[in-house]
Structure 1
Amino acid sequence: MPIDPREKIVLFIDGANLYATSKAIGVDIDYRRLLAEFNAKAYLLRANYYTALVEDQEYSSIRPLIDWLDYNGFTVVTKPAKEFTDAAGRRKIKGNMDIELCVDALELAPYYDHMVLFSGDGDFTALVAALQRKGKRVTVVSTLTTSTPMIADDLRRQADFFIDVADLAKSVGRPPSTRPVVAPAAVPVVDDETDPD
């Protein structure tokens, strides 16, 4: 892994993007092992997880994960998802945390040396370039192993280093959960940036 043990590192996890990526390659991320993996590599200053939440649902399938992360070393950043009706009259829910992630990454920049970004979203290319101008190193974690890459080419080119989730899954992955779904969400939250460009 391209991390110097003397560095202060931060993890910025685009929750919707990492979920889509890990689902596409058929693994679940073990977040306890993920935190331990990066803690062992360098001084882990912070691990932020970003996701939008549907507020009006009686049961949210992501709530147990959010609660676990919140109690186990992650800083969880959420906002309510927005509900709308598309042109075909279908109910859609949109949740995009890109701005929150960018603002936090830039505000924390004086305190870290290396950012590890878990996302393939090309909208983060400008953030990566801005951090590099500030002397920061940036590793992007996504995948190229799917039939359509989950990472935007410009983001991968801009990053100092790239780690494929498929490779990282060897140390922090587990087989997909086979637990029964208690109550499926009526409408999934869709990050409008699941397309890497």
Structure 2
Amino acid sequence: MIDYTGKFKKATRGKTCIFIDAANLERSVQDMRVMKEDIDEKLKNKKGESLCWKVDYRKLKKFFEEQTKLKKITFYSAKFDNIGHDNFLAFLKKQGYELQTKSLKKYDDHTEEKPHRKANFDVEIATDSVSEMEKFQTIVLFSGDSDFKYLLNYLRSNGKITIVFSRSGHVAKELPAASNYYFDIANFRHEILKIETKKQKTPPKRDSAVDNR
């Protein structure tokens, strides 16, 4: 069995800063299959298809605290303006994450019924990492976005160790080549992820006018 934790620890040097592109990270794990051998005792009566992987942000921070000289961990996320998400952000702040949030921006390439909204943090992550580069020797980037190729090359040219965490099938081919090290999140699933029961999708409401025909 390959010791991925050991390989990661050997890859780091000095103080480490972590930058998390939240939307990209969450998308990268949502289609990971839960295998039978991954299921613990409390969920053993569940079938794999009824379970899913989720990021465990408490475990994630603890892992990097144990394996690196962690200087800072920053979480970049859209702000959804609902109680559930506000509570989640408050939880992260309590855990020691620094938060960078902004409202979703609406784009005109979708219909009113299916609007296209997103919040990109490419500029913020690039700006923050460059402005803070004197504070760290190693940067860990959670993203698979090809837009970070230039940033990684720049940091490497300035003597920084650059490490990318993403998923096979979700990472742009440019990033592993641009970074010093690339690690597949799937190989760290027991260290930074957790298994949960999938939430049941709420069926759309039926039109009463149609029902009465």
TM-score computed with the length of structure 1 as normaliser:
0.81
**Stretch moving more, 99-108 or 1-10:** 1-10
Measured in 2, the distance between the counterparts of 1:87 and 1:178 equals: 28
Alignment of 1:7-46 (within 5 A): 7-25=14-32, 26-46=52-72
Report how many aligned residue pairs link the two structures.
Answer: 175
How far apart, CA to CA, are the structure 2 residues paired with 1:153 and 1:86? 27
Q: Structure 2 vs 1, CA of residues 73 and 177 (structure 1 numbering), >3 Å: closer, same or farther?
A: farther
Cα separation, partners in 2 of 1:87 and 1:32, compared to 1, 3 Å: closer
Q: Which residue of 1 aligns with 2:75?
A: 49
- Report the CA distance shift for 1:109/1:63 in structure 2 as closer, same or farther (over 3 A): same
- In 2, the alpha carbon distance for the partners of 1:41 and 1:136 equals 18
Q: What is the aligned partner in structure 1 of residue 147 from structure 2?
A: 123
In 1: Cα distance, 2:185 partner to 2:93 partner: 23
Where does residue 165 of structure 2 map in the other structure?
141
Q: C-alpha displacement at 1:176, in angstroms?
A: 3.0
Which residue in the other structure is 1:63 paired with? 86
Per-residue Cα deviation, 1:126-146 (whole angstroms, up to 9, x for no partner): 0100100110011100011xx
Identity of aligned residues (%): 26
The structural deviation recorded for 1:60 is: 5.8
Does residue 86 (structure 1) correspond to residue 103 (structure 2)? The answer is no
Q: 2:130: which partner in 1?
A: 106
Q: Which amino acid aligns with 2:133?
A: A
Residues 138 and 160, structure 2, Cα contact 8 Å, conserved in 1? yes
Please give the TM-score of this superposition, normalised by the length of structure 2: 0.75
Q: Residue 28 of structure 1 contacts residue 177 of structure 1 at CA under 8 Å; is this kept in 2?
A: no
Instruction: List gaps (5 residues or longer) in structure 2.
Output: 1-6, 33-51, 203-213
2: CA distance, partners of 1:107 / 1:126: 15
CA distance in 1, matches of 2:122, 2:94: 23
CA distance in 1, matches of 2:183, 2:134: 24
Q: Which of 1 and 2 has greater Rg?
A: 2
* Structure 1: 5+ residue stretches without partners: 184-197
Shift of 1:53: 1.7
| Distance 1:73-1:109 versus aligned 2 partners, 3 A rule | same
**Pair 1:99–1:109, CA change in 2 (3 A):** same
**Residue 68 to residue 174, structure 1, CA distance change in 2 (3 Å):** same
